[in-house]
Amino acid sequence: MTATGPLPAGEALRALLSPRAIAVLGASDDPVKIGGRPLAFLLRHGYRGRLFPVNPARATVQGLPAFPSLDAIPEAVDLAIVVVPAERVLEALEAAAAKGVRVAIVFSSGFAEVGDAGRREQARMGDLARRTGLRVIGPNCQGFAHLPSRLIATFASPFLDETLHVGPIAMVSQSGAMAGMLYEMAREAGLGFNYWVSTGNEADVQAAEILAEVVEDPDTRVALCYVEDIKDAGRFREALNRAHRRGVPVFILKSGRSAEGRRAASSHTGALAGEDQVYEAAFREWGAIRAADPADLLHLPQAFLRYREAGPRVAILSNSGGLGVLSVDLCVDLGLTPAVFTDETTAGLRAALPGFAPAQNPVDLTAQVLSDPGLLMRVLPLLEADPGVDVIVFQIALFGAATDVGRVAREVATVAGRTTKVVAASCPQRRVVEAFRQAGVLAFDDPTVALRSLACLARTTRLRPRWLARTSGAVAPPSGAPEIFRARASAEDFLSEWESRRLLEPFGLPLVQSALCADPDAAAHAAERLGYPVVVKICSADLPHKSEAGGVALGVTDAAAVAAACRRIRRRVAERAPGAAVEGFLVQRQAAGALELALGVTADPVFGPVVLVGAGGILVEALRDFRLLLPPVDGAAAEEALRALRIGPLWDGVRGGAPLDLAAAADLVMRLGEAARVLTGLVAEIDLNPVLVGPRGEGVVVLDALVRLVHAEGAH
Amino acid sequence: MTATGPLPAGEALRALLSPRAIAVLGASDDPVKIGGRPLAFLLRHGYRGRLFPVNPARATVQGLPAFPSLDAIPEAVDLAIVVVPAERVLEALEAAAAKGVRVAIVFSSGFAEVGDAGRREQARMGDLARRTGLRVIGPNCQGFAHLPSRLIATFASPFLDETLHVGPIAMVSQSGAMAGMLYEMAREAGLGFNYWVSTGNEADVQAAEILAEVVEDPDTRVALCYVEDIKDAGRFREALNRAHRRGVPVFILKSGRSAEGRRAASSHTGALAGEDQVYEAAFREWGAIRAADPADLLHLPQAFLRYREAGPRVAILSNSGGLGVLSVDLCVDLGLTPAVFTDETTAGLRAALPGFAPAQNPVDLTAQVLSDPGLLMRVLPLLEADPGVDVIVFQIALFGAATDVGRVAREVATVAGRTTKVVAASCPQRRVVEAFRQAGVLAFDDPTVALRSLACLARTTRLRPRWLARTSGAVAPPSGAPEIFRARASAEDFLSEWESRRLLEPFGLPLVQSALCADPDAAAHAAERLGYPVVVKICSADLPHKSEAGGVALGVTDAAAVAAACRRIRRRVAERAPGAAVEGFLVQRQAAGALELALGVTADPVFGPVVLVGAGGILVEALRDFRLLLPPVDGAAAEEALRALRIGPLWDGVRGGAPLDLAAAADLVMRLGEAARVLTGLVAEIDLNPVLVGPRGEGVVVLDALVRLVHAEGAH
């Protein structure tokens, strides 16, 4: 066989997933050393492809014939594992590319995580990959494992264990140690892996690309990711889209939520993550489920391992009244609905339960269940039959030694096996959890974890259609620079308000009625046409902050006052900003509304344009009451963001007043999202502040609009 | 020995903690039945006191001579365990009281939890206890255990186990099954109990009384409580005070956070809990640490089992960069401070760590720690020596089979043993946790749990002095009804604004300058004295909602307008509320401020007066931005509550403006707290809304005050 040319990215990665021949560059004879482990693991766990240790100092390595160099290997090699010192990595990769290797995994550290010199070296690695088509995983990674095929191409410590824990989880992590930790935690919880991948610094291959491949494997039931940054938002989104189409939920643990954490992440894998809130928006809208910590990353998926969907209405069954009450609290906290039973169910419960147990949700089996083993199977079918119940959760405080746990588990399994509802149990006692799992019942070792996971399943069930619908909305390139960009000889950073309006007008934003006037007389005429009171403002690209420059007069009520206001503004601006190029005076109808919003667009280096939806007004702005959205913004997302603000209750009316025009506000947010999308790469910032919202049917109006262009060259 | 008379409550309960003789009423020969278990447990676990089964149908029970009745027992009995059917419980308790028994534990169900009839029966049980001095635990409880003395007076299933898990935890729970669940969970976590008490429906003895006793035991290191309601706030507070004096932290899991949960709790133990927010306020101010769920109730105390106090500055050490970054995020979330190292520490780290590891917090030991076993002991002493570090946490992602875990644990133990700093480790691997614990190092099985528990310890360290200082502020009885109550022939529900002002004036509240005027002319004169603009209001106890009655005129600017406003108001009120008794017109100086607050007092049936501190204004009120405080309110609590509002950032200035007068606002809240305390039982509600806050140094002013008295009889 001879070397093949570069493959399309996906195809090369698929070669990683099932290589026929693997070379280890820098292979050590010591199976415990980092350089010895990959070979030791592949041999011990029974990998069936061909293995070629490369080590110029030895004739054999761990019993296999060794080769002095990669090109001395007489066969084609699909995967090269690189365990040489940092300064020799590039040379090894060149050799691998020359040999026609498709994928190289670089364990070596000493790149972007150590500073600028390392960062440059890593950039050369990326260049090499793009130039040659060799796909590079790492550097500073712990490698890759596909457990069903025994392909353990890693030095990670968990694989020192004799047994491989194979299962439905695909894990992709930028941190190898974190991935190892999760492997150990999963094992303790009785869970196993399909794929286990560490991508390290990501000179070339990104976690998102691996994710896009592993979700295609029918043995993958859930995907878990640990990331410190996302380098290419488009690839990440495409990976999520694939996962949604395959019905594979993606759970993400992202560190760097705090500024301190981001600094630390940058030192760890060289990650340069932006504001966490933009990630939060991307996860929410594109459908990645965010976990709070490593335990959560294993807790949330558990319901998904047994069920594909769930409704929100939960019947709680417990042998502890207290645990039942707590479970109801937790349901409410988690957005689940404690089910309200039908009269038939209630009557049935009354007949089935002892007199002192209330016939309602939560169902308290009381200590009676100890002395009356038939009780459970008189109660469970009632919940099964109730049309208002989607999920049945049996929260077991504990079972004493006298309880026949096997029998209870089999009874619950009988119901779980025949109903379309979700049936789950929890108990802190390991033997009880194991009995339920053996009987085929979804079982948790903690009542809160059970409800968290079920709430996550119910939420995903509700949102998945929306996530799927959004997959079509891939970001399009801007549809040509609008006229405003051509009109300007050189792009200043800020546009004037008038220019900003002209740029945004084609998107149909409800901008307040305005006239641009050359002098005080023209302004007075314009005011007569608009009707009083009016607002008079200076119009200048050099004065983005008009008020501070003395360039605004509010509540002007007749023509003479308008002219006087213009002259006063002109005088003050001449004093405070003598060099400013003035376009004229803007005269606008003064408007009032029940609620102020502040909307905006910023440009994120990774995710591109980001729409900000916030509460406005002096007092409310201090609350930092805002949400971010990624365009394109659909109506559901816009409305949800507006409702999710802390001021959300006001949409239904301020102090018993009329409801506000949420639909009009949502329409404006969608249009702003469209502007942000079309102007991607041209506009650095848009501010619509204030936006006044009127009562339902009376619409919204944008009182001020400010656009900052992408600096200089970028604007043409 | 003969029967003794009733003991003071505490003394009787101490008799419970160490009874010399126990009778079981309704003792069964079957050691697995509920009636047989207490005797079986006491015998099996080796209780050393005397045991008397009472069962008229048998000569022996579980090998002991049985007695036909309690009074047939020839000796004094300290503790009676009552396992008879509900309808025979009162009779059994009468017999116990007659015999001079000090404490009875009632396992039987069928009381307040089943409805009104049961509630009445339970009330009779409480009456019996008060009349006879017999202290009654239960009904509907699972009993009591003091593990060191083998006093297992319960039927709870965990004690079917052969081994008793003795340790430093005292657990007091209104739910027996919940207490049993926590016993099992603690056992899984390697923790044990000193006391284990279930109080059930609390006809007589309340959880707080048990708590007050068990914290006095030097073997109790932490106390855990599960409650659905608190019946006597004073007892609860006294128990917490005792715990603070003993240095025993009290952790509370309270269900019924949601309205749905409260309904369920009421069906469970007959609990009638009020608004959860009042509980939250009591826990926060009186110093109970609230847990979110059963797991949390065991997680939070763990740091307290090894350390009494901790500072907030945390050095993170990890063998995973990713876990280090996550830990920094978690520190920030939890209110801990990632420590900033001194230059010496940084230089030392640079020398100790491999070149690619950053010399900063978090300290990443990298995979280097595998091949360089001396690394840890080069790094740990640096953190130990850094004066900016209070806590050192070693977050271990995992240790491979090749790591000498025992050695690592001993090294960490060496440092932990000699430093005054807190040293802790976490690792998801059980064998690693066990190695650290054996070496005497505080160790957790989850990195988040480690930081949560340490954050809780640091917070408790900071707040304990305040909690201790507050113990002196026990609620005093009202210092005599003020004049206003004597002045009124019969208490109406509402006072007029003028009466409300007179009632509140003695407390020094900054009420806006006002004059009560009999007619329009007097009002005009008053306005001339006050200065314009003024506000004119109707003054009537029958019109608590003045604006709705057309009884308010704002921004009145001259004498003629004041007189006209009075006449207009009189006319409108006569139309809308023809029967209202009018005291006159209130004329007030119209004020402005940078921020509006809404303050108030309500009366909680359990906790008494509650002070509400909230953001005011139409828009902000919709956010439900408020905090509750329990009087007496000290300056720290008032300021903390004002800062904790969502509008809290505004205290430092609105949009770059001057800081606001937080001190004056806090002073007002304290004075309102004093008014609430003094007027306890007389006043049902006080509303100060709006309260205007000015810039620092310019004070606050109360623009409107409304008092509602406790209805009728209560007001005299």
What ipTM does the predicted assembly reach?
A: 0.90
Predicted local distance difference test score (pLDDT) of residue B10: 63
Q: A53-109, pLDDT tens digit by residue?
A: 999 999 999 999 999 999 999 999 999 999 999 999 999 999 999 999 999 999 998
**Subunit contact A619:B177, Cβ cutoff 8 A:** no
**Subunit contact B269:A399, Cβ cutoff 8 A:** no
**Which residues of B are less than 8 Å from A228 in CB distance?**
322, 325
Q: B425-442, pLDDT tens digit by residue?
A: 999 999 999 999 999 999
Predicted local distance difference test score (pLDDT) of residue B155: 94
Structure-block tokens of residue A307: 């069920």
Q: B556-591, pLDDT tens digit by residue?
A: 999 999 999 999 999 999 999 888 889 999 999 998
Closest CA to B632 of B610, B616, B650: B610
B77 neighbors B22 (Cβ within 8 angstroms): yes
Distances in Å between the Cα of A353 and the Cα atoms of A320, A347, B364 are 14, 10, 57
pLDDT band of B180, cuts 50, 70, 90? very high
Q: Exposure pattern of A178-203 as b/e (b: 16+ CB <10 Å)?
A: bbbbbbbbbbebebbbbbbbbbbbbb
Predicted local distance difference test score (pLDDT) of residue B716: 38
**Subunit contact B320:A595, Cβ cutoff 8 A:** no
Which one has a higher pLDDT value, B472 or B707?
A: B707
Q: How far is A387 from chain B (nearest CA, A)?
A: 20
Predicted local distance difference test score (pLDDT) of residue A619: 65
Element of type H or E holding A24: strand A21-25
**Which residues of A are less than 8 Å from B617 in CB distance?**
619
Q: Rounded to an integer, what is the distance from CA A601 to the centroid of its chain?
A: 19
Give yes or no for residue B654 having a pLDDT over 60: yes
**Subunit contact A157:B400, Cβ cutoff 8 A:** yes
Q: A372-416, pLDDT tens digit by residue?
A: 878 999 999 999 999 999 999 999 999 988 889 999 999 999 999
**Subunit contact A258:B649, Cβ cutoff 8 A:** no
**Subunit contact B428:A32, Cβ cutoff 8 A:** no
Predicted local distance difference test score (pLDDT) of residue B36: 95
Q: For chain B, what percent of residues have pLDDT higher than 70?
A: 92
pTM: 0.91
> Which of B265, B429, B621 is opposite residue A184, by nearest beta carbon?
B429
What are the E-state strand segments in A530-682?
534-539, 552-556, 584-589, 595-604, 608-615, 626-629
Which one has a higher pLDDT value, A449 or B623?
A: A449
Give yes or no for residue B146 having a pLDDT over 80: yes
> Which of B267, B323, B371 is opposite residue A177, by nearest beta carbon?
B323
Which residue of B122, B326, B430, B623 is the best one to mutate when testing the A interface, meaning the one whose CB has the most A CBs within 10 A? B326
**Which residues of B are less than 8 Å from A448 in CB distance?**
292-295
Which residue of B254, B329, B645 is the best one to mutate when testing the A interface, meaning the one whose CB has the most A CBs within 10 A? B329
**Subunit contact A322:B268, Cβ cutoff 8 A:** yes
pLDDT band of B616, cuts 50, 70, 90? confident
What count of CB pairs under 8 Å joins A to B?
294
Predicted local distance difference test score (pLDDT) of residue A131: 97
Predicted local distance difference test score (pLDDT) of residue A56: 94
Predicted local distance difference test score (pLDDT) of residue B485: 58
Closest CA to A376 of A434, A419, A318: A318
Across the range B625-653, mean pLDDT stands at: 91
Predicted local distance difference test score (pLDDT) of residue A1: 34
**Which residues of A are less than 8 Å from B624 in CB distance?**
649
**Which residues of A are less than 8 Å from B113 in CB distance?**
321, 356, 358
Q: B270-292, pLDDT tens digit by residue?
A: 655 568 889 999 999 999 999 99
B189 neighbors B433 (Cβ within 8 angstroms): no
Predicted local distance difference test score (pLDDT) of residue A492: 60
Across the range B642-659, mean pLDDT stands at: 86
Q: A576-601, pLDDT tens digit by residue?
A: 988 888 999 999 999 888 889 999 99
**SS3 (DSSP) at B136:** strand
**Which residues of A are less than 8 Å from B328 in CB distance?**
255, 258, 260-261, 264
pLDDT band of A714, cuts 50, 70, 90? very low
pLDDT band of B3, cuts 50, 70, 90? very low
> Which of A268, A325, A367 is opposite residue B256, by nearest beta carbon?
A325
Cα-only R_g, chain A: 32
Which residue of A268, A431, A445 is the best one to mutate when testing the B interface, meaning the one whose CB has the most B CBs within 10 A? A268
Give yes or no for residue A636 having a pLDDT over 60: yes
Predicted local distance difference test score (pLDDT) of residue B482: 54
DSSP secondary structure string, B385-437?
H-TT-SEEEEE-S---TTS-HHHHHHHHHHHHHH-SSEEEEE-S-HHHHHHHH
Domain B309-470, classified CATH 1.10.3720.10, yes or no: no
Residue position matching structure tokens 């290589």: A19
**Subunit contact A649:B623, Cβ cutoff 8 A:** yes
Which one has a higher pLDDT value, A607 or B358?
A: A607
Across the range A455-465, mean pLDDT stands at: 96
- Over B464-479, what HEC string results? HHHHHHHCCCCCCCCC
Give yes or no for residue B385 having a pLDDT over 70: yes
The fold of the A9-302 domain, in CATH, is Rossmann fold (3.40.50)
Question: Which CATH homologous superfamily contains domain B595-715?
Answer: ATP-grasp fold, B domain (3.30.470.20)
**Subunit contact A321:B649, Cβ cutoff 8 A:** no
C-beta atoms surrounding B617 within 10 Å: 18
* Architecture field, domain A308-462: 3-Layer(aba) Sandwich (3.40)
What number of H helices and E strands is found in chain A? Answer: 24, 30
Phi, psi of A294 (to 5 degrees): -55, -40
Predicted local distance difference test score (pLDDT) of residue A373: 79
pLDDT band of A686, cuts 50, 70, 90? very high
**Subunit contact A177:B114, Cβ cutoff 8 A:** no
**Subunit contact B294:A323, Cβ cutoff 8 A:** yes
Give yes or no for residue A477 having a pLDDT over 90: no
**Subunit contact A264:B294, Cβ cutoff 8 A:** no
Would you give the end-to-end CA distance of chain A in angstroms?
Answer: 51
Give yes or no for residue A265 having a pLDDT over 90: no
Predicted local distance difference test score (pLDDT) of residue A625: 85
Q: Name which of A553-557, B703-707, B708-712 the model is least confident about.
A: B708-712
Give yes or no for residue B474 having a pLDDT over 50: no
User: Comparing A308-462 with A595-715, is the CATH topology the same?
Assistant: no
> Which of A255, A322, A329 is opposite residue B325, by nearest beta carbon?
A255
> Which of A264, A268, A619 is opposite residue B654, by nearest beta carbon?
A619
Which one has a higher pLDDT value, B259 or B641?
A: B641
Cα–Cα distance, A565 to A585 (Å, whole number): 10
Mean pLDDT of chain B: 90
Q: A483-499, pLDDT tens digit by residue?
A: 555 555 445 688 999 99
Q: Prior bond to B139 cis, omega within 30?
A: yes
Cα–Cα distance, A42 to A189 (Å, whole number): 25
Q: Sheet of B584-589: strands edge to edge? A: B514-517, B584-589, B534-539, B552-556
| HSE-up (13 A, CA, CB side) for residue A419 | 24
Structure-block tokens of residue A487: 């009109």
Predicted local distance difference test score (pLDDT) of residue A103: 95
**Subunit contact B265:A325, Cβ cutoff 8 A:** yes
Q: Can you give the residue ranges of every domain in chain B? A: 9-302, 309-470, 513-589, 595-715
What does CATH list as the number for B513-589? Answer: 3.30.1490.20
**Which residues of A are less than 8 Å from B190 in CB distance?**
none
Q: B495-510, pLDDT tens digit by residue?
A: 999 999 999 999 999 9
Q: Tell me the helix, strand and coil percentages in chain B, rounded to 5.
A: 40, 20, 35
What are the E-state strand segments in A117-205?
135-137, 143-146, 151-154, 166-173, 193-198
